[in-house]
Amino acid sequence: MKTVNDINFKGKRVLIRVDFNVPLNEDREVTDTTRIEAAKPTIINILEDEGSCILMSHLGRPKNKEAQFSLRHVVEAATEVLGVNVKFVDDCVGETVEQAVADLKSGEILLLENLRYHPEEKQGDRAFAEKLAKLGDYYVNDAFGTAHRAHASTAIIADFFPDNKCFGLLLASEIEHVNKVLTDGKPPVTAIIGGAKVSSKITVIENILDKIDHLIIGGGMAFTFIKAQGGNVGASLVEDDKLDLALEILEKAKEKGVSVHLPSDAVIADSFSEMAATDVNDIDTIPEGWMGLDVGPKSNELFASVISQSNTILWNGPAGVFEMEPFAKGTISLGNAIAEATKNGAFSLVGGGDSVAAVKKFDFTDKVSYVSTGGGAMLEMLEGKTLPGIKAMKE
């Protein structure tokens, strides 16, 4: 896997696909610079070689070039994080852009306007990719968050740089860390899969069963498994059309010698609200009209015990509705157990939007081995899929 470390970019214009799809507030100020910070090592590496950087990204899901989706709003935050003045041009292809690139000197950075202002980007249009390719001597992909999309700037463009393309440090690091779980995981390997629905995680579970020793199931999806086994889950979230599937997963896990750990108790509520009346109950005898919104104390103890004996840990999905304070304890307990195991030498990988949000909210970011920046991309890698953005770089 060739990365920016393997090339000297002196005097070269380097076209970098970054993921600056960052959150903005009502005043259109960046509220979280994590993704900009993640791209910094690659950008600085090229600048230190005395190359120049042309950054391209998308922002949001514009339909008609709406002003709120302009990457102009990201310039100030990018300049601050990178410590280098970031220039901006208000399109990503065409004569104005080509002139701005021609004027770029070594050590300078130019940010192009939102790629998705052009529908051809998402269509994976070859002619559009070729116009983008004209802007650089080298192409670097450092956007793990979009590596699962066959878009013009992530998959198609690589064709125009047969010998002059490489991985950015972030993308290389993401691939390496996911593989650390999937192929090089030191046993016992434990996967913690949570979130609302079995349907969204089914392919992940099926693909990782051959690679893990323990499977902890939390979040709303646990109730589908409990009901499938004959439990009463009250008004808890259940996918009734996935009950047979849940039983199949349990059977497959048994065949492969994987220990499945389901919650034994739950924090239940009489409504989906922070102000609801709550109680702790066995998870398979939840009264009618009550719903489980978090795992209970006995489950927290069980999960922590399994995690403490693990050498490799994958965490994808929270244990409960952690956004509401009364139902956050299970997720915090998972975070504490993973942090403790990591401190004792385990490798821990956290990925998927909600888990990453929980890790940030409860200050676990520096207490786990690696936090992935790409929710959908990481899920697809865990499902065993070949990501178009990564495949294009290897061809």
Q: Is 65 a catalytic residue?
A: no
**Cα(165)–Cα(147) distance, rounded to whole angstroms?**
15
Q: Are 42 and 5 in contact (CB under 8 A)?
A: no
Characterize the bridge pairing of strands 52-56 and 109-112.
parallel
Q: Which of 17, 35, 165, 329 is catalytic?
A: 35
Catalytic residue among 298, 376, 384, 391: 376
- Are 6 and 131 within 8 A, CB to CB? no
Please confirm, yes or no, whether 63 is among the known catalytic residues: no
201 is in an annotated binding site: yes
Catalytic residue status for 376: yes
Contacts of 134 (CB under 8 A, 6+ apart): 98
- Which two tokens mark 166? 């490489």
The angle at the Cα of 324, spanning 320 to 23, to the nearest 5 degrees, equals: 95
Candidates 87, 353, 361, 367; catalytic one: 353
On whether 58 is known to bind a ligand per the annotation, the reply is yes
| 107 in a known ligand binding site | no
Backbone angles phi, psi at 306, to 5 degrees: -65, -45
Contact 356, 372 (CB under 8 A): yes
Task: Please tell me whether 50 is known to bind a ligand.
Answer: no
Sign of CA dihedral 234, 240, 244, 248: negative
Q: Is 217 helix (H, G, I), strand (E, B) or coil?
A: strand
* Cβ neighbour number for residue 58 with a 10 Å cutoff: 27
> What's the CA gap between 190 and 361, in Å, rounded?
23
Within a 10 A sphere around the Cβ of 177, how many other Cβ atoms?
A: 18
Q: Are 39 and 170 in contact (CB under 8 A)?
A: yes
Q: Is 20 annotated as a binding residue?
A: yes
Known binder of ligand: residue 220? no
- 197 included as an active-site residue: yes
Q: Which of 12, 87, 122, 197 is catalytic?
A: 197
Q: Is 354 annotated as a binding residue?
A: yes
- Residue 305 known to bind ligand: no
DSSP secondary structure letter of residue 70: -
The annotation status of 389 as a binding-site residue, yes or no, is: no
55 is in an annotated binding site: no
185 marked as binding residue: no
323 is in an annotated binding site: yes
d(CA 359, CA 361): 6
Catalytic residue positions? Answer: 35, 197, 353, 376
Annotated binding-site ranges:
19-21, 35, 58-61, 116, 149, 201, 292, 323, 352-355
Annotated binding-site ranges for (2R)-3-phosphoglycerate:
35, 116, 149
Annotated binding-site ranges for substrate:
19-21, 35, 58-61, 116, 149
Annotated binding-site ranges for ATP:
201, 292, 323, 352-355
